[in-house]
């Protein structure tokens, strides 16, 4: 954005501190990595943390040095104290959104799904919302609701001293991810991603770029691509894949022939597009054609289950590497190129495939 972001930070401190202690091998919660991450995103004009501070005496002194306003919650028992802190934090955030219209971004530090309605309301009020949570104790419902979500363990400067604990059910706890669907059960099973699990960045970029090229009337700039990726996966960060910036990631993909970069009218913000012929795309279409040819003697070749047959021959196959939104779209592209023919079959409710005549 052209104007500097004005950020208001709200921390559900008990949720973060206890979650960090459990996930990081008994280590303390360090505010510095959060401060550094937000400094890269704009100017933080409000810093508030909510807790019963008699339980966090050392933390209180550290936060004070970082100019965080400590909101004292009266000591109560169990859920009563937790609910009081949650409600107070939500009320203060909504109140500030009306009183300080110059604040453009709200940062909500918690892993508790109870704050999801607050996130929705802030976005409804045209505020950008960034979430921060402990990966092992963040509800799977919260990250997709935000514009961007930062897992504390992945921030620069955070030391993880032992493997993260398995996530637990309940409010503010992510449930264990279900087993991945077999490839022959769902044609696009590779698009299913567990919350917090890094996606293949090449697939994510090409799939997003293809969608933008279909829906946009003008060139796709790198900044537009990054914003769209964050809307699809708020936990995305190029640093998770070893890149220092999004530009470096894009240059890496350009070197591999996955995308092309071209100068644009905006300095430092190149246009991103697909090469005239994506690397290995011809080989992928030949894999499809030869697989259909191999299966034909055994009987009718149906679309469902065909992708798993391709993966038996080429385990890394994914049509999304070439910008196709799904396997059906990839097969239609092969038909357009005169490699195969597809006809709807009413009896099976599927497509029948054969070699082009």
pLDDT at 247: 92
First to last CA, the chain: 53
Q: Is residue 79 scored above 80 in pLDDT?
A: no
**Structural domains present in the chain:** 6-154 (3.40.50.1010), 189-273 (3.30.420.610), 281-355 (3.30.420.610)
Sheet holding 301-302, edge to edge: 301-302, 350-355, 340-345
Mean pLDDT of 305-318: 91
**Cβ proximity of 149 and 143 under 8 Å:** yes
The DSSP code sequence of 209-245 is HHHHHHH-SSPEEHHHHHHHHHHH-TT--GGGGT-SS
**Cβ proximity of 122 and 93 under 8 Å:** yes
Q: Give the residue, 126 or 189, on which the prediction is more confident.
A: 126
Asked which of 23-32, 160-169, 239-248 is least confident by mean pLDDT, the reply is 160-169
pLDDT at 161: 55
Using left for φ > 0, alpha for ψ between -120 and 50, and beta otherwise, residue 257 falls in left
Render pLDDT for 82-111 as a digit per residue (tens, 0 to 9): 678 889 999 999 999 999 999 999 999 999
- Please state, for a pLDDT cut of 90, what percent of the chain lies above it: 39
How far is residue 33's CA from residue 13's CA, in Å, rounded to a whole number? Answer: 15
Render pLDDT for 237-278 as a digit per residue (tens, 0 to 9): 888 888 889 999 999 988 888 889 998 888 889 999 988 765
Q: Is residue 4 scored above 90 in pLDDT?
A: no
Q: Is residue 282 scored above 70 in pLDDT?
A: yes
**CA angle, residues 14, 16, 22, in degrees to nearest 5:** 100
Q: Is residue 336 scored above 90 in pLDDT?
A: no
pLDDT band at 355 (very low <50, low <70, confident <90, very high): very high
Write out the two tokens for 296: 């034909």
SS3 166: coil
SS3 288: helix
């Amino acid at each position: 954005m052209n104007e500097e972001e004005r950020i208001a930070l709200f921390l559900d401190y008990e949720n973060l501190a206890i979650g960090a202690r459990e996930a990081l091998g008994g280590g303390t919660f360090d505010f510095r990595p959060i401060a550094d991450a937000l400094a890269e995103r704009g100017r933080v004009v409000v810093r508030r943390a909510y807790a019963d501070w008699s339980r966090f005496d050392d933390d209180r002194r550290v936060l004070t040095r970082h100019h965080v306003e400590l909101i004292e919650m009266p000591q109560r028992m169990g859920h009563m104290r937790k609910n009081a802190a949650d409600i107070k934090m939500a009320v203060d955030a909504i109140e500030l959104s009306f009183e300080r219209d110059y604040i453009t971004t709200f940062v909500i530090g918690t892993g508790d799904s109870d704050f999801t309605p607050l996130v929705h309301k802030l976005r409804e009020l045209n505020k950008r919302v960034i979430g921060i949570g402990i990966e092992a104790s963040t509800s799977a419902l919260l990250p997709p609701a935000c514009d961007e979500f930062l897992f504390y363990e992945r921030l620069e400067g955070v030391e993880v001293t032992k493997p993260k604990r398995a996530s637990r059910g309940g409010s503010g706890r992510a449930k264990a991810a279900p087993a991945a669907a077999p490839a022959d059960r769902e044609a696009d099973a590779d698009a299913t991603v567990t919350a917090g699990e890094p996606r293949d960045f090449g697939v994510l970029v090409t799939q997003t770029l293809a969608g933008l090229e279909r829906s946009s009337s003008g060139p796709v700039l790198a900044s537009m691509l990054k914003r769209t990726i964050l809307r699809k996966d708020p936990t995305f960060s190029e640093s998770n894949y070893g890149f220092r910036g999004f530009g470096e990631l894009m240059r890496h993909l350009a070197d591999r022939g996955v995308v092309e970069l071209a100068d644009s009218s905006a300095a430092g913000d190149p246009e991103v597009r697909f090469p005239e012929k994506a690397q290995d795309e011809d080989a992928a279409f030949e894999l499809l054609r030869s697989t259909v040819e191999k299966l034909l003697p055994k009987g009718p070749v149906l679309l469902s289950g065909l992708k798993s047959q391709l993966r038996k021959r080429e385990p890394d196959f994914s049509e999304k590497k070439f910008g196709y939104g799904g396997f059906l779209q990839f097969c239609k592209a092969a038909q357009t190129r005169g490699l195969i023919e597809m006809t709807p079959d009413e009896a099976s409710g599927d497509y029948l495939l054969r070699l082009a005549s």
